[in-house]
Structure 1
């Protein structure tokens, strides 16, 4: 476990603060327990992200050894979600929890698909709990999966342990009806500055799932390393992927490994967006193939952290052969809609060359059946039709740059909001934080939560905002403990901004619900930062 955190967390603690209500829905629930204890019944809806509508009613449901999980056995997706739920609950409860046909689950937990319930959309769900059973209804399997995360958080935090715990396992009575605010709720993991294995990426995927994140953006190439196999350009990985920041050994994903990440993410209803950053951030490629350089000379591998010194050679025809091959091979591996072409910090590329490059590369993405995503500098060229741009500017970014992005949004370009001084998980929390960077300023937990995506970018139509994404850059992060301590506890708040209605956005109630996540973090082995802004258990 990392020792870099400012204050060590309480291993295995099941303490909770006595707290306020959920701040939404038709009722405000009382905690049902005094300070320092976790209630046997968690108040309905006091979870993260907070649900859209909560109606507490009646007595709780008790999960027991006789509980069955009922699904529509004719639906492969429903059966898979049922097995996933059973797999989550069996280790800590010790219960068998067989997954059976819905009709054989009387008195149990039913997962029900209702294709005619249009109000629930693609990811919404309705959870009804009463002493005689729990019914989780969704229009689509993704909605069942999101609802399972709510059911999971309604149970005591001890349910996350991988060994049998004493229980009881109660789910408060009433009804939650919940749909997401934004269709795009993302997290980015930089595997280029420091490489992370398939299993380490899967661990992060599971953490994202708990908070209803639906998009995993993988930053697969940068100056310090190329991390995805490209058969037609093999030295990208054998040479360009051999190192990382600081000069330690790097690594890369074979095509089979990348497909395994994509498959695993899909099982958690997350879409993978691969990013190949260009024309800048390309030292790993330039070092692998001399012909990609305008002078035909390959630079040495780069293991530093300063940016803006590299560029593909825009005038050379071979550059576009390279781009076509890379995009084609990665698109073939990626069933999702999007392919991210980067485009940021191309300081070594002239503006004219940048525009030329983007005008040539964006159609290649379309040729292979994908939609372009780029960092917001793409608006300095002409974004392709239906493109998304990812805004990573700051509150203090010059108004002219913000207006350029807003103008693109008014012309139909969709926005993903990742303001660096709000959403970048690699920024230090405070001046005594060991890990992280400070170029965007300190980003404490409240700052990362206390902003509204709909109104953040002046002049951008609210309808242009597709959602939010929390990037995690890894210049200073090399272990999963490092990832944990920078992502948590900020990631859940950013997930709530993407999922929950704007009317529920309230720091004072959120910080209490966040504090109540601490025992869950502990049980899951998440090495989180104990921000002094949050009323953590035991403090």
Structure 2
């Protein structure tokens, strides 16, 4: 009988693997030793039973699927990844035996895997991925990718061999909310650039894409009832570039593509502050009836919607209605941070009026943690972006809201803000929250980060990428990698697997994969990257 290896023992196994030994032991064959150990993936699996013969993908391999649209779609996705590098035809079929089998809602223990969990069984005769839901099947495919050599990610035929180590992985996420935010307001990013980021997020089982669509420097989504928001408010960006915006068709395509990778889009319109692009577009939204000029700087806290004017709530209603109609996901983010030009009384009034509008159009409110200074709506989530040394009073306010039922998404700025510099010499990024090297980004526990907050209140982790200094897709890659996978692991993996010394070994093994994918990353000296 194969010995079950607990998550804590997994750390020891990873260190052994890093030293060049096979997880299957001294009697492993040469073929075994060339297979990636089952546990050397990111995020760390919940449990690993390693052992037995590996499976070799050959020109005779088929991808066998259940006769369901969901399974066929995941099978076609997997084939699209494997065919260019292996050179094999890998037909997707419901016939035959062996090969790579994708099973949905069937088999031993599928019911216990939840909406996103999966089981991967590998042996001489084939690989089987079993899941209760399609999202779990897709996540299992991401694990399978990482068990294959990094060259599998290339778009030209590679020599192989294509071995999958023998054994079993059973894996379910720690948290249901595992997000990444992309700020498209400070600098605009095209649909193609957003899709590329979605693919990078999917590899690490991230399931939420938070799009920051409105800020002082640019409004990025077309709103039919207020057309100048996009055409004028979206016409610039930080530094004065041309800006841009998403048509409704563009936004639908982003939503569709994200859904094909099992990510839910969470749109954000930040208010009542961070609204200069809107205020510049429509004079009537200003208390004095005068539109300010467009803004291309990086200061914060100077803008505010006019809380006393009825037209403000007509504006909010229209924007929320149109955005909610475009967004099939559960959440709509209303911002609420750095409203320094709004009095506390006006802020509370504003949130009391706006949160019911979100509910009216069938969405659940998310706001930055300043929302807890008002009265969060029932079911709302507060996104915490404070620092380790944020004042005790501010933390207590957030904890009190959590104790009263408000869910928390954790995005501590000095841990997982991907726009922070790695070191003082990093060419991109900011340092107002401190310098955030790879170890610091990983070495914290969401479950205990805010003492006093009930464990049940922690809904997950999100890694935001603000773009004051981020201009190109290459900039996104450099700031996100290698920190993003750590945030993804904090959201997915059991707390018992969180150990920097074993994580950095698994992270280092991702470097060649990023190179194969064309991801230019920061080669942190804290990580033992493979030599070139």
TM-score, scaled relative to structure 1: 0.94
Q: Report the Cα offset of residue 321 of structure 1.
A: 0.3
1:508 to 490, 501, 514: 501
Is residue 403 of structure 1 aligned with residue 389 of structure 2?
A: no
Q: Report the Cα offset of residue 117 of structure 1.
A: 2.5
Is residue 379 of structure 1 aligned with residue 364 of structure 2?
A: no
User: Aligned residue for 1:124?
Assistant: 117
State how far apart, in whole Å, the 2-side matches of 1:139 and 1:265 are: 20
Kept in 2: contact 1:24–1:52 (CA 8 A)? no
1:234 to 220, 223, 227: 227
5+ residue gaps, structure 2, are 1-5, 22-31
Deviations 1:70-108 (A, max 9, x none): 1112x111100000000011110011010000xx24120
Alpha-carbon spacing, 1:275–1:409, altered in 2? closer, same or farther (3 Å): same
Is residue 28 of structure 1 aligned with residue 13 of structure 2?
A: yes
Q: Report the Cα offset of residue 538 of structure 1.
A: 1.5
Alpha-carbon spacing, 1:482–1:200, altered in 2? closer, same or farther (3 Å): same
Kept in 1: contact 2:232–2:281 (CA 8 A)? yes
User: Aligned residue for 2:381?
Assistant: 388
State how far apart, in whole Å, the 1-side matches of 2:310 and 2:486 are: 46
Higher relative contact order (CA 8 A, sep 6+): 1
State how far apart, in whole Å, the 2-side matches of 1:477 and 1:97 are: 39
Secondary structure, counterpart of 1:185 in structure 2: strand
Is residue 301 of structure 1 aligned with residue 294 of structure 2?
A: yes
User: Aligned residue for 1:52?
Assistant: 46
2:147 to 141, 154, 157: 154
User: Aligned residue for 1:13?
Assistant: none
State how far apart, in whole Å, the 2-side matches of 1:243 and 1:117 are: 50
Alpha-carbon spacing, 1:463–1:22, altered in 2? closer, same or farther (3 Å): closer
Secondary structure, counterpart of 2:17 in structure 1: coil
State how far apart, in whole Å, the 2-side matches of 1:303 and 1:495 are: 32
Alpha-carbon spacing, 1:456–1:27, altered in 2? closer, same or farther (3 Å): closer
Q: Report the Cα offset of residue 24 of structure 1.
A: 4.5
Kept in 2: contact 1:283–1:301 (CA 8 A)? yes
Q: Report the Cα offset of residue 22 of structure 1.
A: 8.4
Secondary structure, counterpart of 2:399 in structure 1: helix
Kept in 2: contact 1:25–1:52 (CA 8 A)? no
Q: Report the Cα offset of residue 114 of structure 1.
A: 2.0
Secondary structure, counterpart of 2:462 in structure 1: strand
Alpha-carbon spacing, 1:239–1:32, altered in 2? closer, same or farther (3 Å): closer
User: Aligned residue for 1:85?
Assistant: 78
State how far apart, in whole Å, the 1-side matches of 2:179 and 2:96 are: 35
Kept in 1: contact 2:110–2:118 (CA 8 A)? no
Kept in 2: contact 1:31–1:39 (CA 8 A)? no
State how far apart, in whole Å, the 2-side matches of 1:221 and 1:465 are: 26
Q: Report the Cα offset of residue 454 of structure 1.
A: 0.4
State how far apart, in whole Å, the 2-side matches of 1:348 and 1:517 are: 45
1:105-120 correspondence runs (5 A): 105-114=96-105, 117-120=110-113
2:192 to 182, 194, 199: 199
Is residue 184 of structure 1 aligned with residue 177 of structure 2?
A: yes
Number of aligned residue pairs: 514
1:367 to 353, 360, 378: 360
Kept in 1: contact 2:441–2:483 (CA 8 A)? yes
User: Aligned residue for 2:462?
Assistant: 469
Is residue 425 of structure 1 aligned with residue 433 of structure 2?
A: no
State how far apart, in whole Å, the 1-side matches of 2:266 and 2:139 are: 20
Aligned residues: CA RMSD: 1.6
1:245 to 238, 246, 266: 238
Runs of 4+ that moved beyond 3 A: 21-27, 29-35
Q: Report the Cα offset of residue 459 of structure 1.
A: 1.2
User: Aligned residue for 2:160?
Assistant: 167
Deviations 1:252-310 (A, max 9, x none): 00000000000000000000000000000000000000000000000000000000000
